[in-house]
């Protein structure tokens, strides 16, 4: 299964590890039960081929059925205990000193905000979460439009984002790396293309990243870049997108202040390369049919300037 | 309406009630307890207490246990003689059916008690607000 | 023909209550409709539980018409009971007389219902409280109207024919259904009119 | 005897001609129509599944776009649940319950006919809308707000909501007919404990229908109100709540699974008993299991909502119930194995389907335990693991026994045997294809593939297993084509079946194949659970039921003692008219709420036409007769 960056069977966080342990317990129990029942069935059928095998007496049969039922009851109650105990353990992850993130689901992308008591230190990005390794993370989940579900199988199970409610998921990454998550609740046309990455790094690398994200977009340093910014500010982009440090302050699309640092476009649909960016801006409906991003009808020149400018948003 | 055996009809009514409640009461109580627990889990979180959930379990087990006993005891005794005797085999049919309903009620009640007790597991293991 | 036989030629052609087919059909409908009433009532309580104020931003419904209608509905059980027992005694004259009286009650109820809707003090599209209140009252009204029309048809048959003795069973079970509609109203009344006051 | 059966046939036959065809009320006629229609929708739903599998066969596939894919998976789920599975399990009941309880007819026959027409029209309506590109696209579960007024564009969600109304009305009607038949029309001697297991399963299923389906009726009605007249049930901005929808939907939705599953368990018992030629072991335990499952089935619905963030203590009560519901199913399986223990089994095709049940369904049951666990469910919920689980349960637990049951009862319905050769080929291919399709999906889900995605990127590494699954789907498709061909060929030229080709124990096998319009003559009585195997000659028959008019023997609920003889309704065209009018009302209401008001007028007329007696005497004449004491003695009637 590839590099298993989106797999419940490759846990890299304590929560997913606990679930994975429970899974293997249930898997092996189930396997034993399955094999035992099929063996019993086979023996039952096999005995019929022997001419001397008669019907077992009702009493004998009743004894066996009762025994099998009793074993089932004990096994099931054991599994119930295991399940609830796992739930209790997962709830014990301390949220003190946790990193607070707010994720809002939109059709079909993720807005990510790093909370801070000082509003000016808050950071908004999209479709990509950077998190420190070994520190609990408390993510509050909200939905802008319809129900979505936040799911990074390597780290935890899924929790829904529901309009009018706020949910919480607490997790912790124990191994640095890039993990992939995906919306798990059907949310309309492009439910298939609503992925995101979680980049788990050591805490100093994470702090560096966070500090960098807090800075506004750098001013354009060449005439081409200036005209690129002009396309943003005067064209249709600013109606939906925000680029801090410019006049673009739209709220319906991803924050683009540091878009060039991100690895994918359109919520994990295509890799973030200049070519992909160009064709995405040119005809988003071709790459992600139904996306709320309209075709903008920019001229070839404007498009080039715009892409060049966006490339500088590091 | 009196039966020809002289057994009062009210006794027969009780027996019927016992048999039918055996068929219906156990699982119904289990389901009601579940809804009660579900609603009260919010209260449990607010007040950080779970004693009422335990009490509900005990009450539910007591009710279903009583029903089981009730159904069990309804199996003995002889059925009424038929008011419109048309079928030669009816007496035996009734006796078998009464025993069957009684056994059915007892078994279903026991299973219901198991379900009720299983719902106690989360109350014991989990903390009130998770 | 040496096999033993059970001779059923002397059995009657109809039976009232749980011995009859119509009773079971009626009970089936009652179970379904009862489940629906319960579910809408649960929906009401659910939405109430999620709202910090109840009713949220509106005056509770006026008590006057709703309470009057409750009395009318309870009183209507009397002619229905007379109609039912007349039917079960094969007293066709009495049955149709009492059915018409019961119809008069139902008609009065439906007219008062219009005033009830007008004094709910909320519209269905105002908020979720309004939606569920209207739905609850609307669902009950649908049942009252349906049974009203049903009883009208029955009365029509009783007066103009053709009729059969088995019609008496239908008449008897029609009253049963009416009792259900009356009984169902009581918790609905409590919810619509008193839940907003006690909250 | 012959004169009497001629007379009976004349009395009970559906009327001839086209009008007669539309007026039919014979439960066997209606049952066949239900079965054929349901299999028709099964083919459509299967084609939709095949299309999805083709799209998913390789990553980044462009065969069909997201809009069509979303419509197709919604249509697939909706069709299989509402137009195939539930109607089919009830349809077997419609055809066989009256025969298995030894009744002359089904209770409330006109209502039954109406139920069929409403079902047919609802299904046609859905597919016409789909053809017009207004097919629902919000999933068979129709979560709000995606299906709500703001995000569910056009009429698509309304089409879904109204289809629900159609099918629920139909399902509820059939349930009432079945309950009444089972309680009141059993042959003398068939006390509750002697009810055949299939009949018992239909009884508890009907009760589940009666208490579960109102929930989805309320849900779909409030959804349509939100969309059409601006109510706010599901709008969080005005006091509504999207979770309310999920509660209402799943309070129906999970019992629905058992509605589909339980009758198949009834069929399993029949098949295992017949082909091992033994009374099933633990008749009472099996009845108990069916009943317990039906009850506990109402206490598990929240396990579809574990990921919604509800408090863990509250949802864990549903974990407990979802795990405990395994016990009765386990008891069933143990009893069946005890039935087979050392028996001389005949491996005819129906029995192969029954044996396949064990191999497939138990996997689904065990993954069901995993899904009942809150933490584990958070991982696998809404992934292909669940897709695999539910197909193992529904196809293994229900479709296999149903296909086996169809094989088993085909001779009874048509008088001809299905070909064993074709039957076994179809079975083998279906068994292989099924496992090939769905087993890999467990792995896909665990490796992160969510459900309801129209495509997936290549670098996820899901391609191989998806291709395998798609290959399996093609195999299943071929298998079902062979099955269908077998039905078509054998219908014309299969071997003549005779009354009881399998030497089966229950009453439906004591009458001719296909059964006459009047089902039995003479009417039977029973003394045990397996009447055919229990010295039939000494068991009495029933005499004294009229043959010149539609007279049916009504018996008591518990012990089935004869109680009275009721005159049965004649065939009538009015159910059809009423269904047409109601169909107009339902469809119109998608476009304007006034359709309900306007439609109510012809609907009233149609129902008056239906219920107004066609024969009888003038009221005055009857009063004179009654006053003269010409009615049954009161003590007999009351």
pLDDT reported for residue B82: 47
Q: Please provide the DSSP assignment of D84-128 as one string.
A: IIHHHHHHHHHHHHHHHTT-SS-SSHHHHHHHHHHHHHHHHHHHH
Q: Are residues A136 and A110 in the same domain?
A: yes
Among A35-39, C135-139, C160-164, D527-531, which is the least confidently predicted range? C160-164
pLDDT reported for residue B107: 96
Q: How confident is the model at residue B4 (pLDDT cuts 50, 70, 90)?
A: very low
Chain C residue nearest residue B90, CA to CA: C6
Token pair for residue A177?
């790396």
Q: Are residues A57 and A172 in the same domain?
A: yes
Q: Are residues A10 and A28 in the same domain?
A: yes
Query: Has residue B3 got a pLDDT over 70?
Result: no
Inter-chain touch A73–B114, beta carbons under 8 Å = yes
Q: Which one of B114, B118, B127 has the shortest CB-CB distance to A91? A: B127
Say whether residue C49 is in contact with chain D using an 8 A CB cutoff. Answer: no
Does this complex have an ipTM over 0.90? yes
pLDDT reported for residue C153: 92
R_g of chain A computed on alpha carbons: 27
Inter-chain touch B108–D314, beta carbons under 8 Å = no
Query: Has residue B130 got a pLDDT over 80?
Result: no
Show Cβ contacts of residue D124 under 8 Å, excluding neighbours closer than 6 positions. none
More confident residue, D613 or A176: A176
Token pair for residue A130?
């950077």
Say whether residue D134 is in contact with chain A using an 8 A CB cutoff. Answer: no
Inter-chain touch D382–A186, beta carbons under 8 Å = yes
Query: Has residue B11 got a pLDDT over 80?
Result: no
Q: Are residues A117 and A192 in the same domain?
A: yes
Q: How confident is the model at residue A51 (pLDDT cuts 50, 70, 90)?
A: low
Query: Has residue D271 got a pLDDT over 50?
Result: yes
Chain C residue nearest residue D563, CA to CA: C11
Q: Are residues A147 and A284 in the same domain?
A: no
Q: Using an 8 Å Cβ cutoff, are A192 and A266 in contact?
A: no
> Which H/E stretch holds residue C68?
helix C63-88
pLDDT reported for residue D386: 98
> Which H/E stretch holds residue D564?
strand D562-567
Low-confidence ranges of chain C (pLDDT < 70): 1-2, 199
Closest-CA residue to C54 (of C198, C181, C185, C173):
C198
Question: Which of A214, A237, A268 is the C-terminal boundary of a domain?
Answer: A214
Chain B residue nearest residue D192, CA to CA: B97
Say whether residue B49 is in contact with chain D using an 8 A CB cutoff. Answer: no
Question: Which of A161, A190, A214 is the C-terminal boundary of a domain?
Answer: A214
Chain B residue nearest residue C49, CA to CA: B39
Say whether residue D324 is in contact with chain A using an 8 A CB cutoff. Answer: yes
pLDDT reported for residue A53: 59
- CATH code of the domain containing A120: 2.60.40.420
Judging contacts by C-beta atoms under 8 Å, the chain D residues touching residue B44 are 313
CA atoms of D517 and D310, how far apart (whole Å): 55
Inter-chain touch B130–A73, beta carbons under 8 Å = no
User: Smallest CA–CA separation between B128 and chain A, in Å?
Assistant: 10
Within 10 Å of residue D503's Cβ, how many Cβ atoms? 12
Three-state DSSP at A200 gives strand
Say whether residue C153 is in contact with chain D using an 8 A CB cutoff. Answer: yes
Say whether residue C198 is in contact with chain D using an 8 A CB cutoff. Answer: no
Query: Has residue A214 got a pLDDT over 50?
Result: yes
* Structural domains of chain D sorted by starting position, each given as residue range(s) with its CATH number in brackets: 2-510 (1.20.210.10)
Question: Which of A189, A214, A239 is the C-terminal boundary of a domain?
Answer: A214
pLDDT reported for residue B9: 62
- Mean pLDDT, all residues of chain D: 95
Task: Catalogue the long-range contacts made by D125-134 (C-beta closer than 8 Å, 24 or more residues apart).
Answer: D125/D159, D125/D162, D125/D163, D125/D166, D125/D583, D125/D586, D125/D587, D126/D75, D126/D78, D126/D79, D126/D83, D126/D159, D126/D163, D127/D44, D129/D155, D129/D159, D130/D71, D130/D75, D133/D71, D134/D159
CA atoms of D133 and C138, how far apart (whole Å): 33
pLDDT reported for residue B87: 52
Domain that holds residue A86: 1-214
Phi, psi of B114 (to 5 degrees): -60, -45
Show Cβ contacts of residue C115 under 8 Å, excluding neighbours closer than 6 positions. C65
pLDDT reported for residue D617: 83
Average pLDDT rounded to a whole number, residues B57-79: 88
pLDDT reported for residue A95: 85
Residues belonging to chain B with any Cβ–Cβ distance to chain A shorter than 8 Å: 114, 118, 121-122, 125-127, 130
Inter-chain touch A84–B114, beta carbons under 8 Å = no
pLDDT reported for residue D511: 95
Q: Are residues A196 and A289 in the same domain?
A: no
Inter-chain touch D192–B101, beta carbons under 8 Å = yes
Average pLDDT rounded to a whole number, residues D502-525: 95
CA atoms of B83 and B53, how far apart (whole Å): 48
Inter-chain touch B86–C8, beta carbons under 8 Å = yes
Average pLDDT rounded to a whole number, residues B3-24: 74
CA angle A27, A31, A34 (to 5 degrees): 135
pLDDT reported for residue C57: 84
Q: How confident is the model at residue D312 (pLDDT cuts 50, 70, 90)?
A: very high
Q: Is omega for the bond preceding D509 within 30 degrees of 0, making it cis? A: no
Which tens digit of pLDDT belongs to each residue from D28-71? 999 999 999 999 999 999 999 999 999 999 999 999 999 999 99
CATH architecture of the domain C26-198 equals: Up-down Bundle (1.20)
Structurally, chain A folds into a number of domains equal to 2
Inter-chain touch D230–C167, beta carbons under 8 Å = no
Average pLDDT rounded to a whole number, residues A207-215: 95
More confident residue, D626 or D605: D605
Q: How confident is the model at residue B1 (pLDDT cuts 50, 70, 90)?
A: very low
Q: Are residues A243 and A105 in the same domain?
A: no
Q: Are residues A65 and A155 in the same domain?
A: yes
Q: What residues 201-230 of chain D have any CB closer than 8 A to a CB of chain C?
A: 210-211, 213-215, 217-218, 222, 225-226, 229-230
Among C144-148, C165-169, D282-286, D369-373, which is the least confidently predicted range? C165-169
Q: How confident is the model at residue D625 (pLDDT cuts 50, 70, 90)?
A: confident
Which tens digit of pLDDT belongs to each residue from D450-460? 999 999 999 99
Q: How confident is the model at residue B5 (pLDDT cuts 50, 70, 90)?
A: very low
> Which H/E stretch holds residue C86?
helix C63-88
Say whether residue C53 is in contact with chain D using an 8 A CB cutoff. Answer: no
More confident residue, D588 or B4: D588
Judging contacts by C-beta atoms under 8 Å, the chain B residues touching residue D320 are 115, 118-119, 121-122
Among B65-74, D410-419, D527-536, which is the least confidently predicted range? D527-536
Q: Are residues A23 and A157 in the same domain?
A: yes
Chain B residue nearest residue D296, CA to CA: B27
Chain A residue nearest residue D56, CA to CA: A192
Q: Are residues A227 and A210 in the same domain?
A: no
Judging contacts by C-beta atoms under 8 Å, the chain D residues touching residue B23 are 291
pLDDT reported for residue B2: 37
Average pLDDT rounded to a whole number, residues B36-55: 93
Judging contacts by C-beta atoms under 8 Å, the chain C residues touching residue B86 are 6-8
Q: What residues 82-141 of chain C have any CB closer than 8 A to a CB of chain D?
A: 88-93, 96, 124-132, 134-135
Say whether residue B95 is in contact with chain D using an 8 A CB cutoff. Answer: no
Q: Please provide the DSSP assignment of C127-178 as one string.
A: -HHHHHHHHHHHHHHHHHHHHHHHHHHHHHHHHH--B-TTHHHHHHHHHHHH
Query: Has residue A98 got a pLDDT over 80?
Result: yes
CA atoms of C48 and C56, how far apart (whole Å): 9
């Amino acid at each position: 299964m590839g590099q298993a960056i989106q797999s419940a069977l490759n846990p890299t966080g304590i929560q997913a590890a606990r679930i994975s342990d429970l899974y293997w317990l249930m898997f092996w129990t189930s396997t034993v039960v399955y094999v035992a029942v099929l063996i019993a069935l086979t023996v039952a059928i096999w005995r019929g081929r022997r001419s001397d095998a008669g019907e077992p007496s009702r009493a004998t049969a009743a004894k066996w059925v009762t025994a099998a039922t009793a074993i089932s009851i004990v096994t099931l109650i054991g599994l119930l205990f295991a399940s609830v105990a796992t739930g209790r353990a997962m709830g014990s992850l301390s949220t003190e000193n946790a990193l607070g993130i707010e994720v809002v689901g939109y059709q079909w992308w993720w807005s990510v905000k790093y909370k801070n008591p000082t509003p000016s230190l808050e950071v908004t990005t999209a479709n990509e979460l950077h998190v420190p390794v070994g520190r609990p993370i408390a993510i509050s989940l909200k939905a802008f439009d319809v129900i979505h579900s936040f799911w990074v199988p390597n780290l935890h199970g899924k929790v829904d984002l529901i309009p009018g409610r706020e949910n919480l998921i607490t997790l912790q990454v124990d191994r640095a790396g890039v993990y992939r998550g995906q919306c798990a609740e059907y949310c309309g046309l492009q439910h298939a293309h609503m992925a995101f990455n979680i980049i788990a790094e050591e805490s100093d690398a994470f702090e560096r990243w966070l500090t960098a994200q807090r800075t506004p977009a750098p001013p354009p340093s060449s005439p081409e870049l200036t005209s690129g910014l002009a396309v943003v500010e005067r064209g249709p982009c600013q109606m939906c997108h925000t680029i801090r440090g410019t006049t673009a302050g739209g709220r319906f699309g991803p924050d683009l202040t540091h878009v060039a640092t991100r690895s994918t476009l359109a919520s994990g649909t295509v890799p973030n390369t200049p070519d992909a960016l160009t064709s995405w801006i040119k005809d988003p409906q071709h790459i992600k049919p139904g996306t709320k991003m309209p075709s903008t009808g920019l001229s070839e020149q404007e498009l080039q300037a715009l892409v060049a400018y966006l490339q500088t948003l590091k | 309406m009196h039966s020809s055996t002289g057994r009062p009809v009210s006794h027969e009514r009780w027996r019927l009630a016992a048999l039918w409640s055996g068929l219906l009461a156990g699982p119904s109580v289990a389901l009601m307890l579940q809804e009660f627990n579900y609603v009260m889990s919010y209260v449990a979180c607010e007040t950080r207490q779970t004693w009422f959930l335990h009490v509900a379990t005990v009450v539910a087990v007591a009710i279903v246990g009583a029903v089981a006993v009730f159904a069990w005891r309804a199996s003995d005794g002889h059925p009424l003689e038929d008011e419109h005797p048309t079928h030669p085999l009816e007496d035996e049919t009734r006796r078998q059916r009464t025993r069957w309903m009684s056994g059915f009620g007892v078994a279903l009640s026991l299973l219901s008690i198991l379900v009720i007790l299983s719902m106690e597991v989360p109350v014991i293991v989990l903390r009130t607000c998770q | 023909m040496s096999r033993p036989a059970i001779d059923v030629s002397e059995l009657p052609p109809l039976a009232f209550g749980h011995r009859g087919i119509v009773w079971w059909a009626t009970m089936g409908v009652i179970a379904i409709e009862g489940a629906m009433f319960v579910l809408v009532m649960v929906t009401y309580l659910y939405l109430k539980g999620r709202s910090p104020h109840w009713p949220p931003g509106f005056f509770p419904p006026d008590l006057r018409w709703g309470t009057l209608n409750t009395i009318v509905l309870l009183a209507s059980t009397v002619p229905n009971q007379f109609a039912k027992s007349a039917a079960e005694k094969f007293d066709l004259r009495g049955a149709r007389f009492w059915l018409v009286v019961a119809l008069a009650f139902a008609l009065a109820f439906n007219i008062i219902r219009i005033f009830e809707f007008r004094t709910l003090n909320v519209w269905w599209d105002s908020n979720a409280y309004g939606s569920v209140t209207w739905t609850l009252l609307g669902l009950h009204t649908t049942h009252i109207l349906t049974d009203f029309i049903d009883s009208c048809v029955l009365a029509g048959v009783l007066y103009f024919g053709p009729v059969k003795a088995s019609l008496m069973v239908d008449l008897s079970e029609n009253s049963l259904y009416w009792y259900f509609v009356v009984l169902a109203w009581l918790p609905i009344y409590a919810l619509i009119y008193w839940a907003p006051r006690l909250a | 005897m012959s004169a009497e059966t001629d007379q009976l046939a004349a009395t009970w036959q559906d009327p001839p001609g086209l009008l007669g065809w539309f007026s039919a009320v014979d439960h066997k006629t209606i049952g066949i129509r239900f079965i054929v229609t349901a299999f028709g929708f099964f083919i459509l739903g299967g084609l939709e599944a095949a299309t999805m599998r083709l799209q998913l066969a390789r990553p980044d596939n462009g065969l069909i776009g997201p809009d069509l894919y979303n419509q197709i998976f919604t249509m697939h789920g909706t069709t299989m649940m509402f137009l195939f599975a539930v109607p089919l399990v009830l349809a077997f009941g419609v055809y066989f319950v009256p025969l298995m309880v030894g009744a002359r007819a089904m209770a409330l026959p006109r209502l039954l006919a109406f139920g069929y027409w409403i079902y047919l029209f609802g299904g046609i309506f859905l597919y016409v809308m789909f053809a017009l590109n207004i097919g629902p696209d919000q999933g068979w579960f129709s979560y709000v707000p995606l299906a709500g007024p703001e995000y569910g564009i056009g009429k698509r969600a309304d089409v879904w909501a109204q289809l629900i109304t159609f099918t629920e009305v139909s399902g509820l009607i059939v349930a009432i007919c079945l309950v009444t038949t089972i309680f009141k029309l059993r042959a003398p001697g068939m006390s509750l404990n002697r009810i055949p297991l299939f009949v018992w399963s239909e009884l508890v299923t009907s009760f589940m229908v009666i208490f579960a389906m109102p929930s989805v009726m309320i849900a779909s009605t409030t959804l349509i109100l939100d969309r059409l007249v601006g109510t706010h049930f599901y709008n969080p901005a005005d006091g509504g709540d999207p979770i309310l929808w999920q509660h209402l939907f799943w309070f129906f939705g999970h019992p629905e699974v058992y509605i589909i599953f339980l009758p198949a368990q009834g069929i399993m018992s029949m098949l295992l008993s017949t082909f091992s030629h033994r009374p099933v072991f633990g008749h009472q335990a099996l009845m108990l299991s069916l009943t317990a499952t039906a009850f506990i089935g109402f206490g598990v619905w929240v396990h579809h909502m574990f990921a919604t963030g509800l408090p863990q203590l509250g949802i864990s009560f549903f974990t407990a119930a979802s795990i405990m519901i395994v016990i009765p199913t386990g008891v069933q399986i143990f009893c069946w194995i005890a039935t087979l223990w050392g028996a001389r089994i005949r491996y005819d095709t129906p029995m192969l389907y029954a044996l396949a049940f064990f191999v497939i369904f138990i996997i689904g049951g065990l993954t069901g335990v995993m899904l009942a666990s809150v933490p584990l469910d958070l991982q696998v919920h809404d992934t292909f693991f669940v897709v695999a689980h539910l197909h193992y349960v529904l196809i293994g637990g229900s479709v296999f026994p149903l296909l086996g049951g169809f094989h088993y009862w085909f001779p009874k319905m048509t008088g001809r045997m299905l070909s064993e050769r074709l039957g076994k080929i179809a079975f083998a291919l279906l068994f292989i294809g099924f496992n090939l399709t769905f087993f890999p999906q467990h792995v896909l889900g665990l490796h992160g593939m969510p459900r309801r995605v129209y495509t997936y990127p290549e670098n996820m590494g899901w391609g191989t297993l998806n291709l395998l699954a798609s290959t399996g789907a093609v195999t299943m498709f071929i298998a079902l084509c062979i099955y269908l061909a077998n039905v078509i060929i054998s219908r014309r030229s299969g071997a003549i079946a005779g009354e009881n080709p399998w030497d089966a124990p229950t009453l439906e096998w004591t009458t001719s194949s296909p059964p006459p319009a009047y089902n039995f003559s003479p009417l039977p009585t029973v003394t045990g659970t397996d009447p055919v195997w229990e010295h039939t000659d000494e068991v009495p028959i029933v005499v004294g039921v009229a043959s010149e008019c539609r007279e049916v023997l009504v018996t008591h609920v518990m012990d089935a003692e004869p109680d009275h003889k009721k005159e049965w309704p004649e065939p009538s065209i009015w159910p059809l008219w009423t269904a047409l009018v109601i169909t107009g009302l339902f469809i119109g209401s998608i476009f304007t709420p006034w359709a309900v008001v306007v439609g109510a007028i012809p609907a009233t007329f149609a129902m008056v036409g239906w219920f107004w007696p066609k024969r009888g005497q003038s009221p005055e004449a009857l009063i004179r007769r009654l006053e003269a004491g010409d009615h049954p003695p009161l003590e007999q009637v009351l």
